[in-house]
Amino acid sequence: MYLEDARSGRILSYGALGAAVDAWAATFDVIGVGDSGAVLVDVGDPLSFAVVHLAAVASGRRAVPVDTGQPTTEPARLADLLGGASMVVSDRAVDATIPGAPAARVDPATGLPSDVRDGDLPGESPDAPGEGSVVLFTSGSTGTPKGVELPESQLLFVAHAVARHNRLARDDRGFNSLPLFHVNAEVVGLLATLVAGATLVLDRRFRRTGFWELLAERRITWLNAVPAILAVLAKTGPLDFPAGLRFVRSASAPLPDPVRAALGDVPLIVSWGMTEGASQITATPLDAPARAGTVGVPVGSEVQVRGEDGAVLPAGEVGALWVRGPGIVHSYLFGRASERFDADGWLSTGDVGSVSEDGWVALAGRSDDVINRGGEKVYPSEVEDVLLGDARVLEAVVVGRPDDVLGSVPIAYVIPQPDEPVDAEALVADLTARAERSLTRFRRPVEIVVVPDLPRAPTGKIQRARVRGMAAS
């Protein structure tokens, strides 16, 4: 069995997947979708999404995942960024197709095409990679979104690396509630399971109530999660790991050390990756003892630390992280942001961190998250970890606020535990005292604000750029 729906008895066997992929490939052929033609996968049902997405890649087309939580104009927006769409496949209750373009729906019971509509096709696909691929776009918060094209060969390289690193076998049963329009769920979830011949249980979203009971009922052996989910699980109730759970995998954002500690003795794989690296660049070895503040060792890639002058820094020193390898792109679609790549194939990740003598990578934050307070650099994670040491704090985010004298000063936003009444004034006083005990003066937040929540991406990751905007205003 390849896929199971977490909330019903629906399943997708490997044989049914093959038949459905063949049916979709034939449909693309009949419509006239050419090599690297863009198939916009506007599908919210997890099993249906998987079929159409994999069919597009396997048949030599471009799969372009769409967030169905966005307005119905989202497929058209993505098509404009690509220079046209060859087909829109949607399962929305309302029409999200592009006028004049080919379209289809998907039968959720079988994964087969239905209601196929012919239409006008765009011309040649620019920048075609010569094989099937997935195209994902950055958020575009600082300008035109950058397209990241991940060819099938690169996707499979990373998927095999993930499967080997996680020691996935045919009898493994993973659980994924992360959105399938993001690279993590696509590669770590769908593809790593596929190349291992294992089983993946898919849920549309994370639900805290009944979570551990569901994992036990489904006989889950590994959990694909992000720090936001793990923080909720660790701090809002007893951790009732199923007996057969081999490990928990954390990705998408750095895992705070207090959350890591709260998870206890469960084997934990902490990873670091990015869309440009098809989801995984480093990961902690499955049997290695935990190292606070680290995200493991490179898996099929190289990591280099550079100073402000571009020179490679010695082990242990903090600087800009650059990466390269078979799983990492060499350019953005249409040549955008070419300055992030050097002549030797290295990519500037935008992250700041260090590499130890024995190759373990530690993250200090994003380069634009670092707070320069009068010439002293404040890394948000080191302040957040101190605040998270208070059991009443579920999540903490530290950002810089403009200051006329110092340039920028740290301000902290804390989200308290949701199920317990909290005296905000007392919490702020206690956290201020904790910061004074544990942090040097320039690292201490000038203000601590208690909030019910903060802006989030669909993965649950807090959107720091929007939080910085809150602080500035």
Per-residue pLDDT of the chain (473 residues; tens, 9 = 90+): 999 999 999 999 999 999 999 999 999 999 999 999 999 999 999 999 999 999 999 999 999 999 999 999 999 999 999 988 999 999 999 999 999 999 999 999 999 999 999 998 887 777 788 899 999 998 644 457 889 999 999 999 999 999 999 999 999 999 999 999 999 999 999 999 999 999 999 999 999 999 999 999 999 999 999 988 998 898 887 889 999 999 999 997 778 888 888 888 899 999 999 999 999 999 999 988 888 889 999 999 999 999 999 999 999 999 999 999 999 999 999 888 899 999 999 999 999 999 999 999 998 888 888 898 988 888 898 899 899 999 899 999 999 999 888 889 999 999 998 877 899 999 999 999 999 999 989 999 999 999 999 999 887 888 888 999 998 88
Contact 193, 199 (CB under 8 A): yes
Structure confidence at residue 413 (pLDDT): 97
Distance CA 249, CA 269 (A): 5
Cα torsion through 451, 455, 460, 461, rounded to 10: -100
Distance CA 71, CA 383 (A): 37
Contact 352, 306 (CB under 8 A): no
Cα torsion angle, 15, 19, 20, 24, sign: positive
Cα torsion through 413, 414, 415, 420, rounded to 10: -150
Contact 463, 457 (CB under 8 A): yes
Domains and CATH numbers, the chain: 3-137 (3.40.50.980), 204-366 (3.40.50.12780), 371-472 (3.30.300.30)
pTM, entire model: 0.87
Backbone angles phi, psi at 44, to 5 degrees: -90, -30
Contact 230, 268 (CB under 8 A): no
Provide Rg for the chain, Cα atoms.
23
Distance CA 350, CA 304 (A): 12
